[in-house]
Structure 1
Amino acid sequence: MDILLIVLGLVFMLAGIAGSFLPVLPGVPVSWLGLICLYLSPSLPFDWVFIVITGVVAIALYILDYIIPAIGTKKFGGSKAGAWGTTIGLLVGLFAPFPFAILICPFLGALLGELIFNQTEGKTAIKAAFGSFLGFLASTFMKFFATLVYLGLFFYKLAVNWDLFF
């Protein structure tokens, strides 16, 4: 049972890292599920304080994931069309065959959202698209860093308690 939960926890950890880039998957909460799996293994004593603190952080980062891009967009004069354009551009960038598409497409999506749907002037649209893109980058970096920290905690707890498992 321990090995199954450890493997399942590792799968959640890796899915969480992928989710820090994919807008469909909530990266940090999925990584947190990996920590839960580790602590549900019968050999490891359950640490409520650790799980509650990491859970609160996961929820806070999940909420901030929606707030940060909106702040970036609003700070630079963008609209909801720019924010939606960034998300759609990210999805296109994930499947685009050219390098750096995951960085270029969100910016282009925000720009097109501002120009076409919000009918923003050229210079203002570029500024708004840049703000939306910066918000997206900040949010993605935050999620990626948090999922790496959770992965590090997962391996640390596993290493420290290795003798309990095997």
Structure 2
Amino acid sequence: MNSRIDELFLQANDCIDDENFSEALLFYNLILKEDSKNIHALIDRGTTLQNLGRIKSAIRSYDKALDISSNNLDALINKGSAFHLDGKYSDAMACYDVALKIDKKHPMALAYKGLSLAELGQLTEAIDYFKNALSIDKHYHLAQISHDTAQELLKSTQEKNI
């Protein structure tokens, strides 16, 4: 990377730290103007768009990153999380499945797939994914909280059916 792009990334990160996502987006756009194939800028831009609630634009940014590097785990997982936020849980799981084909022990992909399964009411399967994520990273807070919540929901559902 050149020093100009490095400086733009630093400025964008400062904006993100201050939760000034609109300004950060301007810096990512400047980076991409200089280097349209900068995967990190495309992914960070997507994440920023997602933070701004611009889900479809975020997905397009992740798609551009995936056009350059189809096995990029960050782009796949972020694209999945964007679909999840948009309520498209099956599309989200498709992204996580591709990520898990690349790295079957990726704790975030496992936990996020569990979240989508839970949203679809598949609590038992979701719990299995949370357990797998925790077996890889026992300190993964999201997986632990999600596991416990799904466990309680499943228990509550079973008690109602008795």
Give the TM interval when normalised to the shorter protein: under 0.3
Normalised by the size of structure 2, how large is the TM-score? 0.25
Normalised by the size of structure 1, how large is the TM-score? 0.25
Instruction: Tell me which structure has the larger Cα radius of gyration.
Output: 1
Which structure exhibits the higher relative contact order, with contacts defined as CA atoms closer than 8 Å and separated by 6 or more residues?
1
